[in-house]
Amino acid sequence: MLDLAGAVEAQWPDEGVAAHYGDPAREQRVMSERQVLVDRSNRGVIKITGPDRLSWLHSLTSQHVERLAPGSTVQALVLDPQGRLEHHLTMVDDGTATWIHVEPHTAKALADYLNSMRFMLRVEVEDLSGTLVIATLAGPVGEKFEEPSGGTSGSGSAPPALPAAGEAAAVMHGPFTIDLIVAPDAMGKLAAAYPVAGLWAFEAARIAARLPRPGLDTDSRTVPHEVGLIETAVHLNKGCYRGQETVARIHNVGHPPRRLVLLHLDGSEDRLPAHGTPITLADGTAVGTVGSAARHYELGPIGLGLVKRTVPVDVTLLADGVPAAQEVVVPPDAGGNVKVTLRRDAVPQPPAGRKML
């Protein structure tokens, strides 16, 4: 939707979609009050068909999907043999096919991995990135979404009616978004039905909700416990999958080496810390790295970072030199059966009469 009036293109990793449409603060305010359309057509889309698809994905991912009910949305992870995060999947099955969307620039690598694991099973993997795209409705979603046991994500009530939803190949529901997998030309119809917001507004709301984004708030060493994905994307009572040994060891007897924090950045600084820059103590000791950062229309400049588990929870940090108070997202005692729950009620409360993304 870069052809819309005022559109400014986003930078890495979101090239090809709009950062904003001229007024990101207004876009955030509108998003807090009603659903808006966010163009996330840069995300990868994968379709898996065949009668063995669910049992096959069950064996490859961290989630319990062997008996996934049609229409139920789940998050899942593909881990490496050491339990480190490689891919974060949002998926839904429609009874005949499983639909997945993933971070920009990662669909080919995931499809290649999946194809390498097919063996003699009756599955077909199609990378449809660009042919089909993600249109996200972000904002209040009607009835509150509940997080069922076992790490699945779905709705306890019927979703609201969606204009042009009949044109969607798949619909995925979450506590903050409704993702439609549509043909690129359907974006224009949705933009006529909803106000639009860019990724600056979407990312600010995501950071305020303490939701990590793989690839931005993670690195090649990240394990699920460090960023709180255990509750939403890992099923702890399922059979073996690659990386499960590390997950089980941390969950039962250990602690992850790092933890996710929300950074409340000093608003007097006229800049945001850059992605990947150091988080230090006042004496210059490096204790972590900056992930995402944004200017929130109510909270001011905020960010997410990964810091060493042993960093005191009340110490002031410097994020790329910007003073930052830390708010605990993943506690230092995570693992060892300590739960970390990232839910809608973790979002800072908006002014009376408003519902915030």
Q: For 84-135, what is each residue's pLDDT tens digit? A: 999 999 999 999 999 999 999 999 999 999 999 999 899 999 999 999 999 9
| Residue 290 contacts residue 324 (beta carbons within 8 Å) | no
* 216: nearest Cα among 104, 131, 90, 319: 104
329-355 average pLDDT score: 57
301-326 average pLDDT score: 97
Helix (H, G, I), strand (E, B) or coil at 114: helix
Distances (CA, A) of 38 to 1, 83, 329: 9, 32, 26
| Residue 263 contacts residue 269 (beta carbons within 8 Å) | no
| Residue 21 contacts residue 198 (beta carbons within 8 Å) | yes
Token pair of 296 as six digits: 């929130």
> pLDDT digit string (tens) for 279-305?
999 999 999 999 999 999 999 999 999
Burial of 54 (0-12, 13-18, 19+ CB in 10 A): middle
Residue 81 is predicted with a pLDDT of: 96
| Residue 75 contacts residue 87 (beta carbons within 8 Å) | no
Asked whether the predicted pLDDT for residue 156 surpasses 90, the reply is no
* 299: nearest Cα among 203, 215, 216, 218: 203
Residue 55 is predicted with a pLDDT of: 96
CA distance 165 to 175: 18
* 205: nearest Cα among 4, 71, 354: 354
Helix (H, G, I), strand (E, B) or coil at 296: strand
Q: If you average pLDDT over every residue of the chain, what do you get? A: 88
pLDDT band, residue 253 (cuts 50/70/90): confident
Residue 342 is predicted with a pLDDT of: 52
Residue 248 is predicted with a pLDDT of: 93
Residue 346 is predicted with a pLDDT of: 35
| Residue 347 contacts residue 356 (beta carbons within 8 Å) | yes
Residue 341 is predicted with a pLDDT of: 52
Lowest-confidence range among 40-54, 74-88, 238-252? Answer: 238-252
CA distance 303 to 325: 10
Helices 24-33 + 199-208 axis angle, to 10:
60
Q: Which residues contact 214 (CB under 8 A, 6 or more apart)?
A: 85, 87, 88, 103, 222
| Helix intervals (H) in 180-321 | 186-193, 199-208, 230-233, 244-253
CA distance 26 to 195: 11
pLDDT band, residue 166 (cuts 50/70/90): low
- Which residue's entry shows tokens 């994307």? 233
| Helix intervals (H) in the chain | 24-33, 53-60, 107-116, 186-193, 199-208, 230-233, 244-253
